[in-house]
Amino acid sequence: MRKHPLIALFVCALAAAGSAAARDGVDVGQPSAMRKLVPAEGLERQAAQEFSQLKSQAAAKKALAPDDHPQTRRLREIANRLIPHAARFNPRARQWQWEVILIGAPPVNAFCMPGGKIAVFSGLLLGLQLTDDEAAVVMGHEIAHALREHARERIAKTELTRLGASLLSEFVGGGKYSGVFNAGGQLMTLKFSRDDETEADTVGLELAARAGYDPRAGVTLWKKMMAANKGAPPQWLSTHPSGRNRIEEIERHLPEVMPIYEKARLAEKSRSRQDGDAQR
């Protein structure tokens, strides 16, 4: 029997509504297809090598915080709450060998390299006196860069621009990726676009919220960053969105992530009560 057009339309609308209801959190779409020009496994191996070199250099300068350092433990506890939610944005994250280190150095900086290698500098964590919520937003942001594979995309676009589409095609076809990696340079200093930064802010908010950290800390974080970076170049001279624009974008996404945060907090309180009852 042929369905009436209005009935068919109604059924489709219900299905769409059900699908929308099943989704929660932010919507950043699919990662750039450009990243597929660079093999993930090779880039993650390179990242692991660079990260190992960074640790060796920091240790030689007595700047690598030991595993039992209170702030190292603090960062790893935050990461342990964020990481279980990473696969939501990139299934490969389940295979990553995650690692978190603290480097005692002045830069107000942190990064997460492909494959889950995270470094936080004391100039950021202690210099800005970050709360756990603010630290979680920072780490969520950096993890988001890795999950959305912004490094793969940046390197592919750099190589495409430098060598041209035909030459890159030869590299891909022949499996010769050395040019791609050389074009990328040091992964630790790779610059992301404004769109990448905005996307990482957005995904980072959701990661923090799902881990039970208050995403509103993104606002206080960037107020601190703005105060610490007086005299920074205006937005149009930087690949990073200005602090004020970042705050506005964060506030725009708070309605999407606050329900997730509240749900995570309720679940945490329930677990705490159950643990308390079990100990009695």
Dist CA 97 CA 115 (whole Å): 7
> b/e for 89-127, b at 16 or more Cβ within 10 A?
bbebbeebebbbbbbbeeeeebbbbbbbbbbbbbbbbee
Catalytic site includes residue 142: yes
Q: Which residue in the list 142, 149, 153, 197 is annotated as catalytic?
A: 142
Question: Among positive and negative, which fits the CA dihedral 90, 156, 188, 181?
Answer: positive
Residue the block writes with tokens 């105060």: 227
Dist CA 175 CA 29 (whole Å): 29
Secondary structure of residue 110 in the 3-state scheme: strand
Six-digit token string for 246: 């970042």
Dist CA 138 CA 219 (whole Å): 11
Dist CA 270 CA 265 (whole Å): 9
Active site amino acids: 142
